[in-house]
Chain A
Amino acid sequence: MAKVLEGPGMGLMKKWGITVPNYVVVTSVDELTKLGQANEWLKKSKLVVKAHEALGSRFKLGLVKVDLDFKAAEAAAKEMIGRQVGSITVSQVIVSEMIPHKEEYYCAVKSTREGTDILVANCGGIEVESNWDRVKRLALEVGQQPSAEALEKVAKDAGFTGPLVKKMADFAGKMFACFDSEDAQYLEVNPVVLREQDSELIALDAVTLLDGDAKFRHPDWNFAFAAEFGRAYSKHEMEVMAVDSKIKGSVKFIEIPGGDTAMLPAGGGASVYYSDAVVARGGKLANYAEYSGDPPDWAVEVLTDKVCSLPGIKNIIVGGAIANFTDVVKTFGGIINGFRKAKSEGKLKGVKIWVRRGGPREKEGLDAMRALKDEGFDINVFDRNTPLTDIVDKALQAK
């Protein structure tokens, strides 16, 4: 899954005929001022200014300001751009038109095992969470298109009446078209509002999750994907992602501030079990990492470098199951180079390294790791006869 920020998300909805408020995304107040000269609506309408970053609880952080005139919007943008929130600097704001409205509704489209669910409710905003039973569902099989009748029925079921039935059905139909054509996995508009002046339904806010794997058939996806966990990606994370996009196989890296047990395991499945074991034994993860699919040694070296650079780590877990085709000697070669580099830079002082692995050329690979002991590394190497996550137990018991 790949999250898309509000701006490009609204752009995709607009492309499929959904009415969205006027909006601009800017990286400086100057840019906003210039846009104000060119766009009448910025001067005429009441405005909303939001930090355009993958940040959770923007309201609480004061990164959303509403009911502003253009001057106040400029002031809000000035205050927000460049603000430091944790490790993240706000670099963009989205300025959009405020839509006067009384009624708020809800519409979402999500991927299911069988196909797609279209969700509609005649309440919106924070009301939806507490009134989940009012959300009505139209389930579609993969490949099936929703009929006008079915859409109107779900709108009626959700409590819409009169001309709103058709309006909501239309809106949901366009949401589906956007979802289906753009390889989305989740689209949510909350709230959908009824604009007072012309009684048109407008998407006031958008949550857009696209299928990153389908990027090859969407040359117009010219925006970057955003992190889904309530903060933007760090520099190190983005560097590993850049490597990942270039190679056969994969390398992944997510930092978790404050932890002391660093992860450098192999395999998408096993890595989670290693992380589970750390948490189950009361350890604190410093990161989530993983390499798999026989990546080149230089990519594993980059990953190792990032893992060794994590602050305050006491243990590094180089775990792995018995590989099917990942070459243990080659990938361990990358890790060993990374360790040597880190050590020469004065890192890894007092850090214990724990290794468990099997697979093609396992003996040679494990022997090479074992030999690091002679170079002064505090390293403990185990083979397939040690159960998968036992090195985590040993690491966390060791004083």
Chain B
Amino acid sequence: MSILANKDTYVVIQGGVAGVNAARRMAEFCYLIKRSLNVLAFVYPPDAGKAHEIPYGSGLVTVPIYKTVAEATKNHPQINTSLVYIGADRALKGGMEALDDSHIKVVSMITEGVPEKDAKILGRHATKLKKVFNGPSSIGIVSAGSCRLGVIGGAFDNLVLSKLYREGSFGVITKSGGLSNEIIWICSQFADGITTAIGIGGDAYPGTDYVSYLEMFENDPQTKAVIIVGEMGGDLEERAAEWYGAKKRRVKLMAVVSGFCQESLPKGMKFGHAGAKEGLKGEGSARAKSDALKNAGAIVPATFGALGPAIKEAYQEMLKSGQVKEPVEPASLPKLPKSIEAAMKADEVMVAPLIRTTISDDRGDEPCYDGYPASELINKGYEIPHVVGLLWDKRLISKQEAEIIKRIMMLSADHGPCVSGALGTIIAACAGIGLSQSVAAGLIMIGPRFGGAVTDAGRFFKHAVDNKMTVDEFLVYMKKNHGPVPGIGHRVKSLRNPDKRVKELVGYVKSLNMKTPCLDFALEVEKITSVKKDNLILNVDGTMAAVLVDIGFPVDSLNGFFILSRTIGLIGHWVDQKRQDSRLIRLFDYLVNYAAPKRREVPPLK
């Protein structure tokens, strides 16, 4: 047997993240004792209509989320208990909603920092309705072998170590969440374990007192003794003593009370729990409470440490008198399936990876680019081109190569508002589209006719150089197999109107005395093509391509340099339009040649 929570207890959890975490812990317990998940519903208006997936063993249980407690109990009439995880400012309303639902008999409030008045209102309302309001600030309720409400009992290993999978003989009532586990653990080490352990919460006026639970334990034949973990402040312990002393009780009462240190500390000091305060005139002191309990016939060990041996003695007596029998441990217990991460860490499974990466690793305290920590690169004077080198070509490029890349990026960062990419971004910006989409609109213009010839130019120049072609052979090869030479030709620039960017870049690279076979070849090609037509010059794409191939970048990465540098310009255009609060663009009629058929009559539908 147990009190408050048993195999027929079904739960609605009111609240968000903390409630979901509790449901997970409850599912672990359910799995350990082989019962189905006792959480049937959540109430959390912002997510109503959705569901949470709660891990149960190696599977998942889907638990729906409702807007109100009434909706939850209507859909799951077995629900008889509510756990409240709502914030302190809304806890009163949530608690009242649960208490007022006819299906719900027990409301346990986990929320901390609930105003005293609100807790009292809830407690009184529950008494009127003959229901149980446990908490606030409750760590939960656990009945060994049958039900867990909340996170009480701790992690799965602790549930097993504390033998919570099967019933013992000791009831536990505590104000302290942390100590509830300690007592459960002690009961399982020095005796046969617990029946039910209840966290009533450390507030000044918890909804339910020790006496109400003592009555329930007294009526539960399985519970042979009850352990109270008390503290200074209030009068709950005195009331428990009064109850115990009033007549002969079946259960043995054992208790410890904390707060003796207060006798030698500054008056009025506040301890961990809201309720742990000495009353005016010294009432509610640890000593007064201990004495009252002792006088009522309870066993009150001098220290917390002496509680274990006292429990052991009580248990040995119970065994001797035949009140209890040695428990039978189950032959085997379910093991909580390990997470894949834990199993891998323990070298127990091998997993085929889904993807493979060879350039970066962000699992440490900072990203590493091809093995080099980002901060170290910064601090040793490396710059953006080096990062490009590491991530695109997995190598630490030289200072000279970095300088070339920097110049390429600066020269191609932007080319005014008229080119396709910038125009695309500007139109999107004028239409009110966000930064990333607008920039993407510009970037998708990059192709064979705009900035996207870098890769192909590099590929064909390299092909020619690798195969030692003459310019004539190359032009014939291109004409026959591919068409116009990528990287050659410009819409507005020509021999008479040269492209300064190209001149600049070529001049700089040439000044370095490095070997530039591709660039040299490209310039030879230009000599021939520009004679045929004066705008068939080597353009920016072709120059970038030739230089980048010469410093060893893989051809497949080459368009990336244009995308990277032009992104700088595209962002600029978006911000520029945004700053001006630009109007929506509509193309003027006169800019369109309406070549569609003239207006005509629609024929009857056949």
Q: Do A and B bind each other?
A: yes
Q: With the chains together, A285 CA to B180 CA distance in Å? A: 25
Asked if B165 is at the interface of the complex by the 8 Å CB criterion, the answer is no
Whether A270 pairs with B305 at a CB distance below 8 angstroms is no
24 A-B contacts (beta carbon < 8 Å):
A113-B120, A115-B124, A142-B117, A180-B117, A213-B88, A213-B116, A216-B88, A216-B89, A252-B272, A267-B178, A269-B176, A272-B258, A272-B261, A277-B304, A290-B272, A321-B181, A321-B182, A322-B154, A324-B140, A324-B153, A324-B154, A325-B151, A390-B305, A393-B305
Q: How far is the CA of A20 from the CA of B123 in the complex (A)?
A: 35
Number of interface residues of A (CB under 8 A): 59
Q: A185-B204, A268-B273, A280-B303 given. 19 additional CB < 8 A pairs?
A: A183-B115, A213-B88, A213-B116, A228-B270, A230-B268, A269-B174, A269-B179, A269-B272, A273-B179, A273-B256, A276-B259, A276-B260, A277-B303, A278-B261, A279-B263, A321-B178, A322-B158, A322-B182, A388-B182
Chain B neighbourhood of A266, CB < 8 A: 178
Contacts of A278 in B (CB 8 A): 261
Q: Is B135 an interface residue (CB 8 A)?
A: no
Q: Which of B25, B175, B178, B272 has the most CB of A within 10 A?
A: B178
The answer to the question of B277 belonging to the interface, with a C-beta cut-off of 8 Å to chain A, is yes
Residues of A within 8 A of B563 (CB): none
A320 to chain B: which residues have CB within 8 Å? 178
Q: Please indicate the chain A residues that have their CB under 8 angstroms from the CB of B185 in the complex.
A: 322, 358, 384
Q: Are B176 and A268 in contact (CB under 8 A)?
A: yes
B contacts with A, residue count (CB < 8 A): 68
Task: Verify A230–B276 contact, CB threshold 8 A.
Answer: no
Does B158 lie within 8 Å of A276, measured CB to CB? no
Are B260 and A143 in contact, with the CB atoms below 8 A?
no
> In the docked arrangement, what's the CA distance between A174 and B274, Å?
27
**Chain A CB within 10 A, most for which of B155, B256, B260:** B155
Q: How far is the CA of A213 from the CA of B120 in the complex (A)?
A: 14
Tell me which residues from 333 to 368 in chain A have a Cβ below 8 Å from any Cβ of chain B.
358-361
Residues of A within 8 A of B21 (CB): 325
B10 close to A (CB within 8 Å): no
B181 touches A323 (CB 8 A): yes
CB-contacts of A264-295 with B (<8 A): 266-273, 275-280, 285, 288, 290, 292-293
Q: Which residues of B contact A267 (CB under 8 A)?
A: 176-179, 272
B121 within 8 A of A: yes
Q: Let me know if A288 and B271 touch, CB within 8 A.
A: yes
Distance to closest chain B CB from A292 (angstroms): 7
Give the CA-CA distance A252 to B277 in the complex, in Å.
Answer: 15
Are the C-beta atoms of B261 and A360 separated by less than 8 Å?
no
Contact A269/B267 with A113-B205, A278-B261, A322-B154 known, Cβ cut-off 8 Å: no
Taken together as a complex, chains A and B put the C-alpha atoms of A256 and B179 apart, in Å, by 25
A375 to B183, CA, bound (A): 35
Q: Is A30 an interface residue (CB 8 A)?
A: no
B120 shortest CB reach to chain A, Å: 4
Closest chain A residue, CB of each to CB of B259? A272
Q: Which residues of A contact B304 (CB under 8 A)?
A: 273, 276-277, 387-389
B202 within 8 A of A: yes
Q: A268-B178, A359-B155 are in contact. Are A288 and B269 (CB under 8 A)?
A: yes
A214 and B158 form a contact (CB under 8 A) = no
Q: How far is the CB of A320 from chain B (nearest CB, A)?
A: 7
- Taking the nearest CB of chain A, how far is it from the CB of B473, in angstroms? 68
Cα distance, A134 to B243, chains bound together (Å): 30
| Binding stretch for chain A, among B229-237, B357-365, B591-599 | B229-237
Question: Distance (Å) between the CB of B146 and the closest chain A CB?
Answer: 19
Q: Which of B148-204 contact A (CB under 8 A)?
A: 151-155, 158, 161, 174-182, 185, 202, 204
| Chain B residues with CB under 8 A of A290 | 271-272
Given the known interface contacts A324-B154, A358-B181, the answer about A389 and B305 at a Cβ–Cβ threshold of 8 Å is yes
